[in-house]
A and B are shown apart, each in its own frame.
Chain A
Amino acid sequence: MGLILGRLGQSLAVLLAMSFVIYGLMGLMPGDPIDLMIAADPHLSAADAVRLKALYGLDRPWTERYLRWLARIAQGELGYSRLFARPVLDALGPALANTALLMFCALALALTLALPLGVAASRRPGGGLDHAANLLAFVSVSVPTFWLGLMLVAVFAVWLGWLPAGGMHGLAEDDGGPVDRLRHLALPVATLGIAGCGQYLRQMRAAMLAEAGHDYVRTARAKGCGPVRVLLGHQLRNALIPVTTIVALEIGGLFSGALIAETVFAWPGMGRLIYEAVMGNDFNLALSGLLLATAMTLAGSILADLAYAWLDPRVRSL
Chain B
Amino acid sequence: MSGSSYTIACPKCQTVNTVRGKAMTLALTCSSCKTYFGVGKWSKDLTTFGTSYEPVLPIGAKGKIDGKVYEVMGLVVKKEQKYKYDWREYIIFNPFEGYAFLSEYNGHWNMVWPVDDVPPLAMSASDFVDEGFHFRLFQKYKAKVIYAVGEFFFDVVHITETTFNREFIAPPLLFALEKSDDSVLWCKGEYMTPSEVASAFQIPVSKLPSKTGMGYTQPMMGKIKNGAVVSFSILVFIFLLIAQMFFSGSAEEKVVYQGNFFQADLKDQKFFKTSSFTLEGGSKSLEVVVVAPLLNDWFFAEFSLIDETTGTETIFTKDVEYYQGYEDGESWSEGSTKGEAFLSQIPAGKYHINIYPEFSTSSHEFSLTVKRDVAAWSNFWLTLLMLSVFPIGYFIRRNWMEKKRWSESDYSPYEY
On whether the two chains bind one another, the answer is: no
A residues in contact (CB < 8 Å) with B? none
B residues in contact (CB < 8 Å) with A? none
